[in-house]
């Protein structure tokens, strides 16, 4: 028997992603004269729960997985944030991601706090039964934290609508009645919202439309786009921007990807990937690596995979005009600085990918009211909220002459800090 290292369960303070978030709060705070007591409170998560999750695997052995749920802030309402299944999940990253959720929700003025959860596992090598056992046991372990008025999970990397259905069912079984409001991103049949599945990608594209207007850029057949990651966010971002007429010239996933200078047929690429699980052999395209994709000369670059993809090592080689961050934390602080100096216009993650949580909020509202909206209503309301938030961030960026990322944090923290000061704290 081998003892395993548990470094992924240790504290978050020294983790670079968490430090990045703290530095951003501090720098944004200076722009709005943030009360130092509010800064102290924002610099730590409100609640952290570690759980060990035993699962009987298909071969009869029992494997114990590490899981987390972190609630960073609940001032504006119930905590809200995704659940990630990935081999690299750790407490520090989950905590940093919960913080980003707080600021994302506050930025678009949702009545929600910030949370994140995750399990350190590799769902790509697990059977459906193993994943279901994992999800149900995890749900029962975090049961005391979640609920439609407390904390509402959603899908993230490695989880999907089916995962949310299992969470909802496990929670509902424990309380004795159906509780659709405990999760968002559910299948439509059990209370999901129309428009949720493509909401994050749609939101990414809506923010690109707003940016292009300000930069006097046309979005048409001459506009080139590269997308890193071809999961939920990457695929729908590519599909929707393509529907505006733009040319998606490169896409990649974990195993690399494809390039075609006159534009890839997105639906054909998706069908191919679903069938073959890799882009290898996709006709009429050249092969491209993830690193090469990020360095392409394109008008719009959409990183939609994992964090820390654009770092000081490659930022200088990034050649896009607009960087729309579909993923959470794809650009490090040092890289952000380099991109600013190069004149890249960044739409920061908490703004660019907020479409997912905005429509999650709609789903939660619809579930609480048992009254469901049309897809057109969902998309129109998404447009209203996200373009309004874009405008507030852009105006701040223009007025203060600071970059879009810092502006987004400042606008968000200004709203949240007022709420925190009104509420005070107990006792």
Residues recognised as catalytic: 116
Residue closer to ligand NAD (CB basis): 233 or 324: 233
E strand or H helix that includes residue 55: strand 47-56
Distant-in-sequence, close-in-space partners of 50: CB < 8 Å, separation ≥ 6? 9, 66, 67, 68, 91
Per rule CB under 6 A, is residue 332 in the interface with ligand NAD? no
Given 67, 117, 153, 158, the residue binding ligand NAD (CB under 6 A): 158
Per rule CB under 6 A, is residue 348 in the interface with ligand NAD? no
- Based on its alpha-carbon atoms, the radius of gyration of the chain, rounded to whole angstroms, reads 21
Residue 92: both structure tokens together:
């520090």
Per rule CB under 6 A, is residue 195 in the interface with ligand NAD? no
Q: Which of 72, 139, 156, 10 lies closest to 412 in space, CA to CA?
A: 72
Per rule CB under 6 A, is residue 78 in the interface with ligand NAD? no
Describe the chain by its helix, strand, coil percentages, rounded to 5.
50, 15, 35
Given 242, 353, 379, 407, the residue binding ligand NAD (CB under 6 A): 353
Selected range binding ligand NAD among 29-37, 126-134, 252-260, 280-288, rule: CB under 6 A: 252-260
Per rule CB under 6 A, is residue 188 in the interface with ligand NAD? no
Q: Are 118 and 67 in contact (CB under 8 A)?
A: yes
Per rule CB under 6 A, is residue 81 in the interface with ligand NAD? no
Per rule CB under 6 A, is residue 157 in the interface with ligand NAD? yes
Given 10, 175, 215, 254, the residue binding ligand NAD (CB under 6 A): 254
DSSP string, 290-351: HHHHHTS--SEEEE-S-SS-B-TTTGGG---SEEE--SSS-B-HHHHHHHHHHT-EEE-HHH
Residue whose beta carbon is closest to ligand NAD: 231
Q: Which of 21, 49, 81, 31 lies closest to 329 in space, CA to CA?
A: 21
Given 79, 304, 338, 406, the residue binding ligand NAD (CB under 6 A): 304
Per rule CB under 6 A, is residue 119 in the interface with ligand NAD? no
Identify residues 356-375 at the interface with ligand NAD (CB under 6 A).
356
Residue count at the site for ligand NAD (CB under 6 A)?
24
Phi, psi of 108 (to 5 degrees): -95, 10
Selected range binding ligand NAD among 206-214, 229-237, 278-286, 391-399, rule: CB under 6 A: 229-237
Per rule CB under 6 A, is residue 118 in the interface with ligand NAD? no
Residue closer to ligand NAD (CB basis): 97 or 404: 97
Per rule CB under 6 A, is residue 290 in the interface with ligand NAD? yes
> By CB neighbour count within 10 A (0-12 exposed, 13-18 middle, 19+ buried), where does 50 fall?
middle
Alpha-carbon gap, residue 319 to 105, rounded angstroms: 30
Smallest gap from residue 228 Cβ to ligand NAD (A): 6
Alpha-carbon gap, residue 407 to 188, rounded angstroms: 36
Smallest gap from residue 109 Cβ to ligand NAD (A): 17
CB atoms within 10 A of CB 371: 8
Per rule CB under 6 A, is residue 200 in the interface with ligand NAD? yes
Per rule CB under 6 A, is residue 306 in the interface with ligand NAD? yes
Selected range binding ligand NAD among 65-73, 155-163, 383-391, 412-420, rule: CB under 6 A: 155-163
Interacting residue ranges for ligand NAD, rule: CB under 6 A: 155-158, 200, 228-234, 252-254, 290, 304-306, 326-328, 353, 356
């Amino acid at each position: 028997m081998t003892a395993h290292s548990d470094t992924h369960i240790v504290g978050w303070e020294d983790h670079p992603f968490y430090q990045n978030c703290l530095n951003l709060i501090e720098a944004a705070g200076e722009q709005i004269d943030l009360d130092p007591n509010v800064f102290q409170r924002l610099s730590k998560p409100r609640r952290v729960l570690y759980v060990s999750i035993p699962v009987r695997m298909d071969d009869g052995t029992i494997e114990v997985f590490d899981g987390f749920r972190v609630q960073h802030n609940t001032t504006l309402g119930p905590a809200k944030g995704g659940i990630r299944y990935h081999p690299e999940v750790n407490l520090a990253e989950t905590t940093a991601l919960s913080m980003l959720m707080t600021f994302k929700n506050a930025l678009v003025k949702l009545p929600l706090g910030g949370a994140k959860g995750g399990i350190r596992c590799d769902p790509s090598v697990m059977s459906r039964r193993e994943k279901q056992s994992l999800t149900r046991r995890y749900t029962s372990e975090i049961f005391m934290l979640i609920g439609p008025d407390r904390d509402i999970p959603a899908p993230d990397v490695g989880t999907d609508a089916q995962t949310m259905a299992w969470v909802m069912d496990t929670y509902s079984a424990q309380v004795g009645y159906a509780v659709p409001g405990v999760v968002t991103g559910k299948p439509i049949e059990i209370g999901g919202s129309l428009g949720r599945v493509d909401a994050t990608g749609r939101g990414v594209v809506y923010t690109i439309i707003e940016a292009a207007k300000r930069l006097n850029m046309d979005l048409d057949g001459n506009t080139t786009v590269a997308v890193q990651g071809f999961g939920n966010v990457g695929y729908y971002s590519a599909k929707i921007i393509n529907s505006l007429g733009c040319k998606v010239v490169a896409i990649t996933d974990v195993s690399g990807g494809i390039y075609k200078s006159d534009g890839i047929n997105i639906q054909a690429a998706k069908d191919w990937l679903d069938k073959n699980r890799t882009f290898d052999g996709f006709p009429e395209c050249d092969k491209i690596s993830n690193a090469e994709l990020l360095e392409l000369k394109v008008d719009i670059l959409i990183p939609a995979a994992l964090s820390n993809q654009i770092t000081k090592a490659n930022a200088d080689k990034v050649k896009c005009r607009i960087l729309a961050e579909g993923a959470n934390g794809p650009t490090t602080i040092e890289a952000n600085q380099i991109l600013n100096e190069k004149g890249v216009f960044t739409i920061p993650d908490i703004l660019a990918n907020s479409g997912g949580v905005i429509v999650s909020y709609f789903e939660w509202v619809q579930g609480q009211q048992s009254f469901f909206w049309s897809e057109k209503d969902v998309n129109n309301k998404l447009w209203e909220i996200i373009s309004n938030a874009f405008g507030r961030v852009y105006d701040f960026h223009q007025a203060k002459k600071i970059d879009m990322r810092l502006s987004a944090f400042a606008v968000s923290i200004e709203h949240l800090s007022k709420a925190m000061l009104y509420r005070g704290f107990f006792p």
